[in-house]
A and B are shown apart, each in its own frame.
Chain A
């Protein structure tokens, strides 16, 4: 806080007064009705997030009218509770049903679902809850202590920087997909698919074949639901002919000490990556969880375990996506720039309360700012309590006979895809991606690679073209910024690392990175 620097320079009495003042802003948070509202918001968000097709964004947007009559601290913290609960809740259906509850949890599917299949659903959910809490708390500390200082990062990102960041993000495909050629094919297919819809610069419709429903391209969430959930249903149906042993339910929900220790570095990295990505506007929790997953895998001693039901995999993705929640509030509160889609909606909630987010908010309404800081902590703690308490309830879903469960997932795929935009064309998208995902799974193409390309492809294209437009098509000018060069360097390093590692470790046995 800017007040903190004041605190250092002025005398003791002032310091004491400042601390008292700050604490007094926290008092309204502990009124019973405010705590109730935050708890209800968090629980509601958790359920919304767990239901595929209902995203945290929708939850916040739809409940904004409820805050009309509330005080700012109460209303905004309820919305923040929904946000935090919603991003966390997405992991439940990712782990149990291979259906990302929200796009933020798509990466959790990779290790969460195999764990559930091995009868470790309780532990997987437990790890996800712990990771989300740690990520959320670390980012909340950063939010409360360094918001104005870090917010500046958000302003450094222009088109070239976003382009370089997206390019770096795409290199994840190389290390995630196993078979490099098939991974590249999946990634490029994803970028091609992302080209459908309105051209980001000229607005012309591309590859829509005159169907108005595709004017904005393939809707992202229905595509994800098809890609991961419906494709799995097809696979299940194939297997149904053969006899299958039902998944046994393990009561335990706390990961073991050994598992926590193994996941420690993934947790810290994930939280920090999530915090950093959260500050950069227009990126969001989806990007953060993929990058975090990749970093955890890259730095792991046993990268081959990732994707087979490895605890650090969940720790990495869930700590990152919940860290984004609090971190995305940093540019919103300090600069009036939303860090992701949900905070853009939250900004609407602030405006309705007659508060314009921005540097002035810290001076004009410190009570609201401090109240939001406090509310972020409280909501994260509620999320932990509810999450842990509900694990046995959630895991019971797996007790449902496979046939019934599979059919209910199909129904959820359709309802979830339709409820996003109420656009019937989205159902074709979902089914199309379901068939595509099933085919990819069968022939060893990485669905994750396609998913990453769908997230980053549009960002890459729009910023490449916008940046070149602004630079008058001067490529050198476009690529000359320091942050751009940094990310381009990281991109080269990330792609070249397997080779470098091979050269370095020629003597000491086989290289760990690439599978042949």
Chain B
């Protein structure tokens, strides 16, 4: 009885939307390794919403499994049954960085990369009362005294990116870890630290209000939001960094199902309504397919490994 019902529903849906052949006949589950309400979580919820709109009858359930710097939820995703119904939010920290710090029961090679739908661009900003206000004065000032750069947690993505930049630019910095990015932001606006890594959206609002001053963008080319802010690349420092939002899965998903998922991510990531919503939230929507996503993560992973080794954090928690 139940089986015939499912078959009947699947048939009806199959007729309605050809893209929905057999897979998925149950709700998809996406594990977000952070608490509900954070930027990764909100991004995932917007995608889930867009997927449900795009594919009739599809349900996407976002499940939050926070803790251990994202390691707990990511571990749950990578060790889930490889049937394509459980996916993970591909976050930079837990996948590319955490395995090097240790305490994770997976490595970057254990993942199947489904697709990337947004990149989170990064801007280094000067905080209130900082002794510098643009890229050149920042570098000059760093020669005298290592600037205190706040990050959202030791061994986290923006700790690594700040240190990686310092290494590439040949300057010394003092990293000050906080318990999350909003704590770091508070300290920055209050003038308790010199600089921090921010997202373009928060940097934009804060710089208009005179709370922060953008120093440089961690991209290859200048971005629309900050046409007057240079990149590190144009200042002669070979350094780019961004984090990302995408889907990962355990290895071993049936090929046809993986192909369906990859196509679904592509369709959503190129949907104008979705792009508009995400852009409003300050995300930079872009689509990268599985292999491109994988190459990006592996490059980050290598870079993180080098930086962690120099900081003496490599394998710290093993």
A68 to B277, CA, bound (A): 9
A353 to B201, CA, bound (A): 13
Q: Is B68 a contact of A351 with CB atoms below 8 Å?
A: no
Output the nearest chain A residue to B280 by Cβ-Cβ distance. A354
Return the contact of A61 from the options B36, B63, B101, B210 (Cβ within 8 A).
Answer: B36
A385 beta carbon closer than 8 Å to chain B: no
Which residues on the A side are within 8 Å of B48 (C-beta)? 65
A154 to B37, CA, bound (A): 22
Q: Is A64 a contact of B103 with CB atoms below 8 Å?
A: no
A202 to B48, CA, bound (A): 35
Q: A356-B205, A360-B205 are in contact. Are A203 and B189 (CB under 8 A)?
A: no
Q: A60-B37, A203-B154, A203-B155 are in contact. Are A215 and B69 (CB under 8 A)?
A: yes
A68 to B50, CA, bound (A): 11
Query: Closest CB of chain A to B144's CB: distance in Å?
Result: 15
Q: Is B68 a contact of A65 with CB atoms below 8 Å?
A: no
- A486-508 residues with Cβ-Cβ distance < 8 A to B are none
Give the contact stretch, choosing among B20-28, B173-181, B238-246, B264-272.
B173-181
B186 beta carbon closer than 8 Å to chain A: yes
Q: Is B37 a contact of A348 with CB atoms below 8 Å?
A: yes
B65 beta carbon closer than 8 Å to chain A: yes
Q: Is B68 a contact of A212 with CB atoms below 8 Å?
A: yes
Which residues on the B side are within 8 Å of A65 (C-beta)? 45-46, 48-49
A145 beta carbon closer than 8 Å to chain B: no
A91 to B315, CA, bound (A): 45
A281 to B188, CA, bound (A): 13
Q: A352-B280, A352-B281, A423-B67 are in contact. Are A203 and B41 (CB under 8 A)?
A: no
B57 beta carbon closer than 8 Å to chain A: no
A240 beta carbon closer than 8 Å to chain B: no
Query: Closest CB of chain B to A473's CB: distance in Å?
Result: 12
B233 beta carbon closer than 8 Å to chain A: no
Give the contact stretch, choosing among A132-140, A178-186, A312-320, A336-344.
A336-344
Output the nearest chain A residue to B279 by Cβ-Cβ distance. A354
Q: Is A345 a contact of B37 with CB atoms below 8 Å?
A: yes
Q: A204-B317, A336-B205, A352-B42 are in contact. Are A212 and B176 (CB under 8 A)?
A: no
Q: Is B282 a contact of A351 with CB atoms below 8 Å?
A: yes
Q: Is B39 a contact of A348 with CB atoms below 8 Å?
A: yes
Q: Is A216 a contact of B211 with CB atoms below 8 Å?
A: no
Q: Is B206 a contact of A336 with CB atoms below 8 Å?
A: yes
A198 beta carbon closer than 8 Å to chain B: yes
A295 to B21, CA, bound (A): 65
B72 beta carbon closer than 8 Å to chain A: yes
- A172-213 residues with Cβ-Cβ distance < 8 A to B are 198-205, 208, 210, 212-213
Q: A282-B183, A352-B281, A358-B211 are in contact. Are A421 and B36 (CB under 8 A)?
A: no
A422 beta carbon closer than 8 Å to chain B: yes
- A12-40 residues with Cβ-Cβ distance < 8 A to B are none
Give the contact stretch, choosing among A155-163, A284-292, A367-375.
A155-163
Which residues on the A side are within 8 Å of B64 (C-beta)? 61, 421-422
B107 beta carbon closer than 8 Å to chain A: no
A47 beta carbon closer than 8 Å to chain B: no
Query: Closest CB of chain B to A282's CB: distance in Å?
Result: 6
Q: Is A422 a contact of B65 with CB atoms below 8 Å?
A: yes
- B64-98 residues with Cβ-Cβ distance < 8 A to A are 64-69, 71-72, 75
Which residues on the B side are within 8 Å of A198 (C-beta)? 68-69, 153-154
Which residues on the A side are within 8 Å of B166 (C-beta)? none
A57 beta carbon closer than 8 Å to chain B: yes
- A204-237 residues with Cβ-Cβ distance < 8 A to B are 204-205, 208, 210, 212-213, 215-216, 219
Which residues on the A side are within 8 Å of B178 (C-beta)? 466
Which residues on the B side are within 8 Å of A462 (C-beta)? 179
Among A65, A157, A466, A469, residue most surrounded by chain B Cβ atoms (within 10 Å): A466
**Count: A-B pairs, CB below 8 Å:** 169
Output the nearest chain A residue to B316 by Cβ-Cβ distance. A204
A200 to B151, CA, bound (A): 12
Which residues on the A side are within 8 Å of B46 (C-beta)? 65, 68, 352
A199 to B46, CA, bound (A): 33
Q: Is A155 a contact of B189 with CB atoms below 8 Å?
A: yes
Query: Closest CB of chain B to A214's CB: distance in Å?
Result: 8
Which residues on the B side are within 8 Å of A256 (C-beta)? none
Among B103, B208, B277, residue most surrounded by chain A Cβ atoms (within 10 Å): B103
A335 beta carbon closer than 8 Å to chain B: yes
A331 to B180, CA, bound (A): 17
Which residues on the A side are within 8 Å of B201 (C-beta)? 351, 356
A359 to B210, CA, bound (A): 9
Q: Is A421 a contact of B182 with CB atoms below 8 Å?
A: no
Q: A201-B154, A352-B42, A470-B176 are in contact. Are A64 and B211 (CB under 8 A)?
A: no
Q: Is A158 a contact of B209 with CB atoms below 8 Å?
A: no
Q: A68-B49, A159-B192 are in contact. Are A466 and B155 (CB under 8 A)?
A: no
Q: Is B281 a contact of A470 with CB atoms below 8 Å?
A: no
Return the contact of B206 from the options A57, A201, A358 (Cβ within 8 A).
Answer: A358
A448 beta carbon closer than 8 Å to chain B: no
Return the contact of B208 from the options A199, A337, A360, A421 (Cβ within 8 A).
Answer: A360
A58 beta carbon closer than 8 Å to chain B: yes
Q: A212-B72, A348-B39, A354-B280 are in contact. Are A337 and B176 (CB under 8 A)?
A: no
Output the nearest chain B residue to A69 by Cβ-Cβ distance. B49
- B197-212 residues with Cβ-Cβ distance < 8 A to A are 201-202, 204-206, 208-211
Q: Is B67 a contact of A215 with CB atoms below 8 Å?
A: yes
A62 beta carbon closer than 8 Å to chain B: yes
A366 to B190, CA, bound (A): 24
Output the nearest chain A residue to B199 by Cβ-Cβ distance. A351
Q: Is B72 a contact of A215 with CB atoms below 8 Å?
A: yes
B185 beta carbon closer than 8 Å to chain A: yes
Which residues on the B side are within 8 Å of A353 (C-beta)? 280
Query: Closest CB of chain A to B285's CB: distance in Å?
Result: 15
Return the contact of A344 from the options B37, B280, B317 (Cβ within 8 A).
Answer: B37
- A37-58 residues with Cβ-Cβ distance < 8 A to B are 57-58
Output the nearest chain A residue to B210 by Cβ-Cβ distance. A359
* Beyond A198-B68, A203-B155, A466-B178, 18 additional pairs, beta carbon < 8 A: A61-B35, A61-B64, A64-B45, A68-B46, A155-B128, A155-B190, A210-B103, A212-B105, A215-B67, A215-B68, A216-B66, A281-B186, A336-B189, A336-B202, A336-B211, A344-B37, A356-B204, A469-B174
Can you offer 5 A-B residue contacts whose CB atoms are under 8 A?
A64-B45, A203-B154, A210-B103, A358-B205, A360-B205
Q: Which 3 A-B pairs have the closest CB atoms?
A: A215-B68, A61-B36, A345-B37
Taking Cβ atoms with an 8 Å cutoff, the residues of B that contact A are 35-39, 41-42, 45-46, 48-49, 63-69, 71-72, 75, 101, 103-105, 128, 148, 153-156, 174, 176-180, 182-183, 185-187, 189-193, 201-202, 204-206, 208-211, 277, 280-282, 313, 316-317
